[in-house]
Amino acid sequence: MSHSDRETVLEARDFVKNYGEVKAVRGVSFSVQKGEIFGLIGPDGGGKTSLMRSLVSLLKIDGGELYFKGQAVSGNPDYVRRNIGYMPQRFSLYQDMSVAENLRFFADLFNVDRDLAETRIEELYGFSGLKPFASRKAGALSGGMKQKLALSCMLVHSPDVVVLDEPTFGVDPVSRSEFWQILGKLKEEGTSILVSTAYMDEADLCDRVGLMFNGRILIVDEPSALPERYPGKLYSVRTDEPHLVHDALEESGLCGECNLFGEGVHLTLADGTAESRIGDLLRENNLAFESFEAIESGIEDLFLRLMKGDGDER
């Protein structure tokens, strides 16, 4: 392993998870190193939740093995549950209990010493800014605050490895950004974090990411290295009429990839197509465009490309 100098805290080896006939995870291997933020990025239904639930011993393992700090998860669920921090995708706190009551409940649940718990809860209030809402019922919090409370509750026993399943799902952009700042601080404290998300832009906030789709992790790398992983040269057409331009390009057969984006169309050239043909085609069709140029691929581009390659195995 390239990270042999570092300690592995979470690891999957050929992990398989099925629900009857449905194959949710089809042989996944990856590892999370101590002190890093590892992002599992991918669309819904890709197997992220199944993988994370299995890692925290909530699901039966159907093939391969998962390891937490070197111990097999299947054989040591108690060890995993005592030491890991887990934040489920669904809000899983008690809505009829206040912020402070929820925090204290989880402190007691994990047998955290009373005095220690009080200090820890104050510390977490500092992180989350939830102190002014301490007596508010969890059910009456906004989406962003709920997620911060959920995070605080699972941090109350000071785990050094945490698993977060789409913690920013459905949360407003400001709260999302605040949430990632908290994760950054946790990392500075030495906490290892495995986090999943369907938001591609959050990939850059991770140390390493795994692109997960259709039960497989297709690429594991640092976010900055991802553009190089794109096979071929990518171009962008900027236009105010992306739909029309996309349809015209798709029909022309000049493109390999041809994907619709907010600001225009991203494409690769089909074999034997000259760059200039694209501009000519659009002008022939009287379609206005601002620019046509080569660009560095983003994570969405990579995903769209990878998904196409994997589609036949569905």
Partner 1 sequence: MKRSFLSIVRKELIHIFRDKQSLFMVLTMPLLMLLLYGYAITLDMKAIDIIIADHSAGPESRELIRHIEATDFFKVSVYRGGVAHIGELFQNREAQCILEIPRDYGESIRTGIPVQLQLSIDASDPNAANFIQNYVSRVATLSFAGYKGLFTVEPRVFYNPDMRSAPFFIPGLIALILLLICALLTSIAIVREKESGTMEQLLVSPVKPVQIILGKVLPYTFLGFFDGLMILIVGSLLFDVPIQGSVLLIMAMMLIYVVTGLSLGMLVSTVAKTQAVAMLAAITMTVLPSMLMSGFIFPISSMPEIFQLVSRIIPATYFIEIIRGIVLKGNDLHNLYKPASILLGLDAVLIALSIRAFKIRLE
Q: Which uninterrupted H or E stretch holds 195?
A: strand 192-197
Q: How far apart are CA 19 and CA 261, in angstroms?
A: 35
The answer to whether the CB of 73 falls within 8 A of the CB of 65 is yes
Nearer to partner 1, 95 or 181 (CB): 95
Determine the 3-state secondary structure of 213 from DSSP.
strand
The answer to whether the CB of 192 falls within 8 A of the CB of 10 is yes
User: Shortest approach of partner 1 to residue 170 CB, angstroms?
Assistant: 14
* Strand-strand pairing, 192-197 and 234-238: unpaired
Q: What is each CA distance from 221 to 15, 101, 204, in whole angstroms?
A: 19, 41, 11
For residue 300, what are the contacts with CB-CB under 8 A and spacing of at least 6? 200, 259, 261
User: Shortest approach of partner 1 to residue 230 CB, angstroms?
Assistant: 37
Nearer to partner 1, 96 or 271 (CB): 96
Nearer to partner 1, 81 or 238 (CB): 81
User: Shortest approach of partner 1 to residue 162 CB, angstroms?
Assistant: 11
User: Shortest approach of partner 1 to residue 161 CB, angstroms?
Assistant: 12
Nearer to partner 1, 33 or 57 (CB): 57
User: Shortest approach of partner 1 to residue 57 CB, angstroms?
Assistant: 7
For residue 43, what are the contacts with CB-CB under 8 A and spacing of at least 6? 198, 213, 303
User: Shortest approach of partner 1 to residue 183 CB, angstroms?
Assistant: 19
Interface residues with partner 1 (CB under 8 A)? Answer: 53, 56-60, 77-78, 80-82, 84, 86-88, 90-97, 101, 105-106, 108-111, 150, 153-154
Nearer to partner 1, 93 or 269 (CB): 93
- Per-position b or e across 287-305, b if 16+ CB within 10 A of its CB: bebeebeeeebbbebbbbb
Question: In the chain, which ranges are continuous DSSP H helix?
Answer: 48-55, 77-83, 99-109, 114-128, 143-155, 173-188, 242-252, 275-284, 299-310
Determine the 3-state secondary structure of 53 from DSSP.
helix
User: Shortest approach of partner 1 to residue 190 CB, angstroms?
Assistant: 21
Nearer to partner 1, 118 or 221 (CB): 118
Nearer to partner 1, 91 or 127 (CB): 91
Q: How far apart are CA 210 and CA 18, in angstroms?
A: 20
